[in-house]
Amino acid sequence: MKKPSSEMRQHILDVAKSLMTAKGYTAVGLAEVVSAAGVPKGSFYYYFRSKEEFGQALLEEYFAEYLSKVDALLGGEGTASQRLLGYFHYWSETQGTDLPDGKCLVVKLGAEVCDFSEDMRVVLEKGTRAIVGRLAKCIAQGQSEGSISSEVAAQALAESLYQTWLGASLLVKVGKDTRPFQTALDMTERALS
């Protein structure tokens, strides 16, 4: 039985997400995507006009899923400080060196695609701004309730923390060692107190 159009499009995105998370955008060719998805090349072009449009869709979907998880973590129980630390613990637990799926596509594809695709760069910028905005909102809540004593402006602190964790993620990849996450967590705890 043939899959409905929206399911087939989603299937292609799901398969490609795993491939690109493991190998990167430029290392994965269209032939590999359609072969892994088990669809003809024409089906790919039915859903996406180009590999670049496909990359945009992949990143947009990634951010939609990821932002839902961020909302759940930052909107959960506990003080704002506890929720923020919970989010960064989640980051360190899901971005380790031995975890093939669920890796951050910002870290994996960011530097790679920004130089050759303005449209994909814009998706990355919009998505990272959304993450930082959610962190800033939680920080502001923590400053209001008193669980975060830092007097640094919430937006500036959120940007600094996000940049720290992106850097830690890159260092984890480079060194194949998760210690940079512990350093980032220690710094985060100090920054929030």
Of 10-14, 98-102, 109-113, 153-157, where does mean pLDDT reach its minimum? Answer: 98-102
105 with 25, same domain: the answer is no
Of 21-35, 97-111, 129-143, 155-169, where does mean pLDDT reach its minimum? Answer: 97-111
CA distances (Å), origin 41, targets 18, 44, 139: 19, 5, 47
Percent pLDDT > 70 in the chain is 93
83 with 172, same domain: the answer is yes
58 with 123, same domain: the answer is yes
Determine the structural domain holding residue 155 and report its residue range: 52-192
> Looking at the 3D structure of the chain, how many domains does it have?
2
Q: Residue holding tokens 């701004």? A: 129
86 with 102, same domain: the answer is yes
Where residue 69 sits, what CATH number does that domain have? Answer: 1.10.357.10
110 with 184, same domain: the answer is yes
Kindly tell me if the per-residue pLDDT of 107 is higher than 90: no
83 with 124, same domain: the answer is yes
82 with 140, same domain: the answer is yes
Q: Would you state the pLDDT for residue 2? A: 54
2 with 68, same domain: the answer is no
102 with 135, same domain: the answer is yes
pLDDT digits 0-9 by tens, 58-95: 999 999 999 999 999 999 999 999 999 999 999 998 88
136 with 101, same domain: the answer is yes
146 with 130, same domain: the answer is yes
- Cβ distance 145 to 176 under 8 Å? no
Q: Output the CA angle 46-52-56, nearest 5 degrees.
A: 90
- Cβ distance 168 to 161 under 8 Å? no
Per-residue tokens: 131: 């993450």
Question: What is the pTM assigned to this prediction?
Answer: 0.89
Nearest Cα neighbor of 64 from 3, 7, 13, 12 is 13
Task: For the chain, state the CA radius of gyration.
Answer: 18
Query: What mean pLDDT comes out for the span 110-115?
Result: 83
Where residue 37 sits, what CATH number does that domain have? Answer: 1.10.10.60
44 with 80, same domain: the answer is no
Q: Would you state the pLDDT for residue 95? A: 82
Query: What mean pLDDT comes out for the span 25-44?
Result: 91
